[in-house]
Structure formats: structure tokens, C-alpha cells
Amino acid sequence: MQTRPLSNIAHDIKRDWKNVNYAAKPYLSAMLDMDSIDDNYYYDTGKSVVRYFLGNAGQWRGPVAQTIKAELRGML
């Protein structure tokens, strides 16, 4: 299955989510620097970065949020 780079997804998130939750910000920043869920971000795996982002992105709602969250879950 072809997946988009995490950095592209993160740019879409930034464009849609104007007031990013403080707890989700570090994981969104990490995703901006990542290409694949198989990459590492310092000592964290790409999968853990995505999981932590999803765990802290509950306040992000709407059709774009639903689509992107489903895309990220599908990568796990």
C-alpha cells in the first residue's frame, strides 16, 4: 500500500488545526521531519510518534481530522 510521507501529512495537519494541543505539538513537529513511519526520531520510533500524536489529538475534530487520523491509524 502506498502511503504519503509523514512530513506531508504533518503539513496538512498544521494547515487545518490552528490551535494545536500543547501535548500534540512535539509529535507533530517530529512528523514534520520524518518521511516514513519506519523512521526513527531520536530515540522514538515512527510508530510511537504517530501513536502519541493520535493519543493527544482528541481535540482536533472535523472532516479533515477524521480523514487524516484514519490515514495515520492505517499506517500503524
Residue span of the structural domain in which 22 resides: 6-75
Please count the residues of the chain: 76
User: For residue 34, how many other CB atoms are within 10 A of its CB?
Assistant: 20
Average pLDDT over residues 19-44: 96
User: For residue 13, how many other CB atoms are within 10 A of its CB?
Assistant: 22
Q: How confident is the model at residue 53 (pLDDT cuts 50, 70, 90)?
A: very high
What pTM was computed for the model? 0.93
Average pLDDT over residues 8-35: 97
Query: Per the domain annotation, does 19 fall within a domain?
Result: yes
> HEC states along 45-64?
EHHHHHHHHHHCCCCCCCHH
pLDDT higher than threshold 70 for residue 1: no
Q: What was the pLDDT predicted at 3?
A: 83
Q: What was the pLDDT predicted at 2?
A: 62
Query: Per the domain annotation, does 1 fall within a domain?
Result: no
Domain count, the chain: 1
